[in-house]
Homo-oligomer: A and B are copies of this chain.
Amino acid sequence: MATPNIVEVASLIGDESRAAMLMNLLGGRALPASELARAARVTPQTASSHLAKMVEGGLLVHEAYGRHRYYRLASEEVGQALEALNAIALPKPVRSLRESDQSKALHFARTCYDHLAGEVGVALTDRMLELGLIRAEGRDYVVTTDGAKWFPDFGIDLDGIRRGRRHFARECLDWSERRHHLAGALGAALTNRLFDLGWIERVPGGRAVRVTRTGFARLESDLGATFEESRKGAKISESPSV
Contacts and interface: CB of A to CB of B under 8 A. Distances in A.
A90 interface: yes
Interface residues of A, number: 50
Given A81-B88, A88-B59, A90-B58, A15 B6 contact: no
Interface string A83-107: 0111111111000000100110010
Interface stretch (A132-140, A215-223, A224-232): A132-140
A9 interface: yes
A120 to B, nearest CB: 18
Contacts of A241: none
Contacts of A74: 88
A168 to B, nearest CB: 16
Nearest to A39: B1
Interface in A5-31: 5-16, 19-20, 23
A161 interface: no
B6 A19 contact: yes
Of the candidates A9, A20, A75, the one having the most CB atoms from chain B within 10 angstroms of its own CB is A9
A4 interface: yes
Contacts of A88: 9, 58-59, 74-75, 77-78, 81
B80 A84 contact: yes
A147 interface: no
Given A80-B84, A88-B9, A102 B2 contact: yes
A5 B136 contact: no
26 contacts: A2-B106, A3-B92, A4-B90, A5-B90, A6-B19, A6-B85, A7-B16, A8-B89, A9-B85, A9-B88, A9-B89, A10-B10, A10-B13, A10-B14, A11-B11, A11-B14, A12-B14, A14-B14, A74-B88, A77-B84, A77-B87, A81-B84, A81-B87, A85-B85, A139-B173, A139-B180
Interface of A: 1-16, 19-20, 23, 57-59, 74-75, 77-78, 80-82, 84-92, 99, 102-103, 106, 136-139, 171, 173, 180, 206
